[in-house]
Structure 1
Amino acid sequence: MMTNLKLQKLLYYAQGFNLALFNQPLFLEEIKAWQYGPVVEEVYRTYKEYLRGPLPEPEDFNPEVMTLEERELIDEVYSVFGKYTGTILVNLTHQEKPWMDTELNQTITHELMSDYFKSQIIKD
């Protein structure tokens, strides 16, 4: 089940790995370090009304606007992290340098995410 909480963490992982692998952001919105982990505030507000419930499928989603590399990266992030609940993903992100090194409610920088995710790719 896709919840707002889970979506936020998947966006963070997709952005982080895209920065690490391709040296560019997957999307332009900032990721903030909120109490429950990384959050794309604009996306959070879009789905806020669903609370902890399942999110609807977006009506206007068109995967063709993304490159093949972007779609493959998103698919890989989902295959690795999509099996976890939002709560487990919160716990994972709370142990990671980008969230830990960013003050609450501040932007997690692309540089911090890129450096961290590059180290994870090399490690794995």
Structure 2
Amino acid sequence: MTYTAVDIAKYIVSYCSGKHRPVSNLKLQKMLYYTWIDYYKKTGTALFFNEICAWQLGPVVPDAYYEFCSYAGTPIIRTYDVELSSGDTAIINKIIEDYIPIPASTLVNRSHRKGGPWDTVYQDGLGNRGIIPFSLIKDMECVGTC
């Protein structure tokens, strides 16, 4: 099943709030990116089709960013009623659990990997806010696993 990025973002926010490990919008953006990748690796299908863009602090899904930008750098403590299929819930919960303990700064650094999708599009700022094609993400992040 395919969802919107905002639905997945709300699910991540709710899950993390429920675990008393709320995330900032920055960390949420990185978790969305890596959730998309890990979900694709596991299922071979896209979790959402909203654009992922190369912003200064890494990959960002603008639709989800603007949904939560009023929180700035503060933890987002909210719960939403987002329904996922039972199979997707299990997959996504596991992915979230893997990323909850990782600091946002570590995820930013990981997403800025030289030669990775973000770096390829961002190009030291020349491609700021450019779209990172899903094909590029698949080719560079899912090599040998998808």
Task: Tell me which interval the TM-score lies in, with the shorter structure as reference length.
Answer: 0.7 to 0.9
- Residues 53, 59 of structure 2: 8 Å contact kept: yes
User: Which position in structure 2 is the counterpart of 1:27?
Assistant: 48
Instruction: Measure how far apart 1:108 and its partner are.
Output: 1.1
Contact 2:24 2:75 (C-alpha < 8 Å) held by counterparts: yes
CA distance in 2 between partners of 1:10 and 1:67 (Å): 20
Instruction: Sort the Cα spacing of 1:120 and 1:9 in 2 relative to 1 into closer, same or farther, 3 A.
Output: farther
Bigger relative CO (Cα 8 Å, ≥ 6 apart) = 1
Deviation string for 1:11-54 (max 9, x for gaps)?
00111122333332101211111000011101111111111101
Between the two proteins, the alignment pairs up a number of residues equal to 119
Matched to 1:84, the amino acid is: I
What pairs up with 1:1-124 in 2 under 5 angstroms?
A: 1-59=22-80, 61-63=81-83, 65-68=84-87, 70-95=88-113, 97-102=116-121, 103-119=127-143, 121=145
- TM-score (normalizing by structure 2): 0.71
Residues in 2 aligned to 1:76 and 1:101: alpha-carbon distance in whole angstroms: 29
In structure 2, the residue corresponding to 1:33 is in which secondary structure? Answer: strand
Cα root mean square deviation, aligned? 2.0
* 1:48 partner letter: C
CA contact (8 A) 2:39 2:92 kept: no
Change in Cα spacing, 1:112 to 1:83, as seen in structure 2 (3 Å) is: same
Code of the residue aligned with 2:82 in structure 1: it is N
Residues 40 and 83 of structure 1, relative CA distance in 2, 3 Å threshold: same
Residue in 1 that maps onto 2:13: none
Unaligned runs of 5+ in 2: 1-21, 122-126
TM-score (norm 1): 0.83
Distance 1:62 1:27 in 2: 14
Check conservation: 1:23, 1:114, Cα contact below 8 A: no
Instruction: State the identity as a percent.
Output: 28
